[in-house]
Amino acid sequence: MALKRLSTPSEASTFPQDNLTPGEYEMRLVYVADLGIQTGMTWKGQKKKDSQQICLGLEVVGETTTINDEEVPRILWSKPFNIFKNMTELGNELKMYRLFEPSAKEGDTPDWDAQLGKPCVGSVVAVEKEDKTFDNIGTLSPLPAKYHDGVAENQTQPCVGDSTDPDNACNKALFGLAKWCFDNRVGAPVPPVPSNTSEDDTEVPVADEVPY
């Protein structure tokens, strides 16, 4: 199913607790998550336009983690980035797309489905926050085509996301910042207030609580 490029606004996995050794790893693109329309930030008193964002889920080749007592392939999520009707040199989508399709150029409409399963090289960095250590993707680099056959196949079934489909595999695999953005997209359903909690007791997240 192709990624739906939006023009108008329209149960989480457990976060992995074990950490990778910082360094470079071979990775394969297995998820392209649609995070929906995100509210534009306010910068110097001016609010930027709301924009659709996506992020990439990369399987770290040969690495696993344990989620809900099950050993599964290790997935890391890229930072979310804006997408528009076409790719532009001013945006991050073209840069990310070129990791898998080096010939892509400004003005192209990307075919993310065709990139699923392709490998790249990513650096993993350790980020400490509130006495916890998180694995983040530091940088991503393309892998020359002549080395592709030497990279082990991905174990995760590749999937392109759909922010309007609650059963989409990408949505269920989100965690950290990627999931926070998805849950706070424009038009996202508001979670019901528990029956034993009044609306006045409901906590409202603040900027400092945005997860890594």
Round to whole Å and give the CA distance between 53 and 118.
21
Q: Is residue 7 part of a domain?
A: no
**Sequence-separated (6 or more) residues with CB below 8 Å from residue 83:** 5, 51, 52, 53, 54, 91, 93
- In this structure, the dihedral spanned by the alpha carbons of residues 205, 208, 211 and 212, taken in order and rounded to 10 degrees, is 160
Which pLDDT value is given to residue 1?
64
Name the DSSP class of 201.
Answer: G
68 in a domain, yes or no?
A: yes
Cβ 70 vs Cβ 48: under 8 Å: no
**Does residue 46 fall inside a structural domain?**
yes
Assessment of whether the complete model's pTM goes beyond 0.95: no
Task: Give me the tens of pLDDT residue by residue for the chain, a chain 212 residues long.
Answer: 677 766 544 344 456 668 999 999 999 999 999 999 999 888 778 888 899 999 999 999 999 998 888 899 999 999 999 999 999 998 999 999 999 999 999 999 999 999 999 999 999 999 988 888 899 999 999 999 999 999 999 999 999 999 999 789 999 999 999 999 999 999 998 766 656 544 444 443 433 344 54
Radius of gyration of the chain (CA): 18
Q: Total domain count for the chain?
A: 1
> Does residue 33 belong to any structural domain of this protein?
yes
- pLDDT (0 to 100) of residue 62: 96
Q: Which residues make beta-bridge pairs with 137?
A: 124
Whether 34 is covered by a domain: the verdict is yes
Cα–Cα distances in Å, from 92 out to 70, 88, 99, 130, 200? 34, 8, 11, 30, 40
pLDDT at 67: 83
- E strand spans, 50-149: 51-67, 70-77, 81-83, 119-129, 132-142
Q: Note whether residue 111 is domain-resident.
A: yes
Which residue range(s) make up the domain with 134?
Answer: 23-209
Domain annotation covers residue 4: no
CA dist., res. 117 & res. 156, Å (int): 9
Instruction: Determine the pLDDT at residue 17.
Output: 67
What's the one-letter identity of residue 150?
A: G
How many C-beta atoms surround the C-beta of residue 110 within 10 A? 22
15 found inside a domain: no
Tokens read off for 14: 């457990």
* pLDDT in the model for residue 2: 76
CA–CA gap between residue 72 and residue 155 (Å, rounded): 9
